[in-house]
Amino acid sequence: MPTPTDAAGTQPAPAPSSSSPSNPVIEFVDVEKRFGDNIVLKDLNFQVARGERVTLIGPSGSGKTTILRLVMTLEELTGGYIYIDGQPLTHENRDGKRVPVSKKQQKSLRTRIGMVFQQFNLFPNMTVLENIIEAPVHVLGRPKKDAVAKAHSLLEQVGLPDKANAHPTSLSGGQQQRVAIARALAMDPEILLLDEVTSALDPEVVDDVLNILREVADTTNVTMLIVTHEMGFARDVSHKVMMFDGGHVIEEGRPEKIFTNPDQERTKKFLGAVLGD
């Protein structure tokens, strides 16, 4: 199995210095998600440590994006529990009963999480600057002046310093995705969810977007949960890779192990198909 690398030959990500299995930032406990009669996730249990970058790989329909949407509270749990920093995100076990948490608690935890989507999800009626400052001002209550200053700094970081007053419809797909990354980072998230962020982009701009995310990974301690088919990127930035199939984790480990010598035949076949082996 060939080992995916990037052009710069980036070394595998070092283990997060603050990882602590006893204090996960994200924890799934007996999670189940159904869409009608279709069971997408069942009895799913896993943890993500603080500062850890975990990539979910596997065939389409295996439940990877659903996991991100559950953490983002864009989908509702059918069963089980998700904890953020040890606090229940949507439901808790109270006297043996599974009950919803308060909307206030859910909203508070939700502000710690940022997500970058496949299709950018920018507000077309707002300028780039307005898109970036919307949540910091109206959700976090930050002074507009501070939010604007941070937005300009982030636009510089993603290579779009002159696009603050542009509207998303005037931007290319790669530019829109860079704005979406800036928007997510403007919330100073503790957790960053990345859902196939390059799948809607032209091939020639994929590296630009991935390099920005590599820089975020290299320069921050943000916890990342990543869904991608860009295996070189997964190899470079991940501390752990989890292989999903049929709503279950069938294998997990350090990227150098998963990509070079996976244990499961299903993982070998999937990577062979993706990497063209």
Position 73, amino acid: T
What are the start-end ranges of the H helices in the chain? Answer: 64-71, 103-110, 128-138, 144-157, 173-185, 203-219, 231-237, 255-260, 265-275
Q: How many CB atoms lie within 10 A of CB 199?
A: 13
Q: Does residue 153 belong to any structural domain of this protein? A: yes
> Residue 134 in contact with residue 123, Cβ under 8 Å?
yes
As a whole number of angstroms, the distance between CA 171 and CA 26 comes to 34
Q: Residue 17 pLDDT more than 50?
A: no
Q: Residue 3 pLDDT more than 70?
A: no
pLDDT for the residue numbered 261:
94
Residue matched to tokens 């799934």: 28
Task: Residue 170: give the domain boundaries.
Answer: 122-188
3-class SS shares of the chain: helix, strand, coil, % to 5:
35, 25, 40
Q: How many domains does the chain have?
A: 1
Q: Does residue 163 belong to any structural domain of this protein? A: yes
Q: Does residue 11 belong to any structural domain of this protein? A: no
Mean pLDDT for the chain overall: 90
What Rg do the C-alpha atoms of the chain give, in angstroms? 19
Two structure tokens written together for 64: 């990877």
Where residue 13 falls among pLDDT bands split at 50, 70, 90? Answer: low
Q: Which of 68, 3, 75 is nearest to 33 (CA)?
A: 75
Q: Does residue 17 belong to any structural domain of this protein? A: no
Q: Which of 146, 208, 157 is nearest to 182 (CA)?
A: 157
pLDDT for the residue numbered 246:
86
As a whole number of angstroms, the distance between CA 168 and CA 173 comes to 9
pLDDT for the residue numbered 61:
83
pLDDT for the residue numbered 62:
86
Q: Any idea which of 28-32, 57-61, 167-171, 181-185 has the lowest mean pLDDT?
A: 57-61
Averaged pLDDT, 237-249: 93
Within its chain, how far is the Cα of 19 from the centroid? 18
Q: Does residue 126 belong to any structural domain of this protein? A: yes
Where residue 277 falls among pLDDT bands split at 50, 70, 90? Answer: low
> Residue 194 in contact with residue 224, Cβ under 8 Å?
yes
Q: Does residue 84 belong to any structural domain of this protein? A: no
pLDDT for the residue numbered 22:
54
Q: Does residue 136 belong to any structural domain of this protein? A: yes
Q: Residue 20 pLDDT more than 50?
A: no
pLDDT for the residue numbered 2:
47
Q: Residue 14 pLDDT more than 50?
A: no
Tell me the pLDDT tens digit for each residue of 69-113: 999 999 999 999 999 999 999 999 999 999 999 999 999 999 999
Q: Does residue 177 belong to any structural domain of this protein? A: yes
Tell me the pLDDT tens digit for each residue of 118-143: 888 899 999 999 999 999 999 999 99
Adjacent-strand bridge partners of 36: none
> Which 3 state secondary structure label does DSSP give 126?
coil
